[in-house]
Amino acid sequence: MDPQHLNLIYLIIAAAVATFVTRIGGYVLITQMKQIPPRLEAALNAVPAAVLTTLVAPAFVYGGFDVAVSMFVAFAIALGLNLSTLRMLVIGWVVVMLLRHLVL
């Protein structure tokens, strides 16, 4: 196995350990700590939305016209009809395929 591939294996193992730490962490903490400070809790609550947004916004701005349009259409329809993520993916995919193969 070449060193670069070995690094990927190490990366996956590190990610698995990090994930396991989050899964056992609350149990360990709750037996130690009585209460989480409110500001810390607010910050922790914000983590997933804040991290995931950084993977969405730049793709929308720099991903090209077809990607931006399909993201927007999927977003608008999913929000309006309260659709699941899976349906949203299907809509976005259909829009981008239409744009790429029929329109542009």
Partner 1 sequence: MRKDEFWEGVRGGFPIMLAASPFGALFGALAVDNGFTIADTVFMSATVYAGASQMVGIELFGNHVQPWLVVLSVFAVNFRHVLYSASIAKYIRHFTPIQKFFAFFLLVDPQYAETEKRGERGLPVTFPWYLGFGLVIYFPWIFNTLLGAIFGQMIGDPKAIGLDVLLPIYFLGLVMGFRKRDRFLPIVAVSAIASVAGMHFVGSPWHVSIGALAGVLLAACLPPTGTVAAPPVAIEKEA
> Which residues would be at the binding site for partner 1 (CB under 8 A)?
5, 7-16, 18-27, 29-31, 38-63, 66-67, 70-71, 74-75, 78-79, 84-86, 88-89, 92-93, 96-97, 100
- Joined tokens for residue 31: 């037996």
Residues present in the chain in total: 104
CB of 66 to partner 1, least distance (A): 8
Q: How far is the CB of 102 from partner 1 (least distance, A)?
A: 12
> What tokens does 91 get?
């809509």
Supply the angle between the helices 38-62 and 65-81 in degrees, to the nearest 10: 130
What is the closest distance, in whole angstroms, from the C-beta atom of residue 34 to partner 1 in the complex?
12
Give dist(CA 39, CA 62) in Å, integer: 34
Give the nearer residue to partner 1 in terms of CB position, either 38 or 103.
38
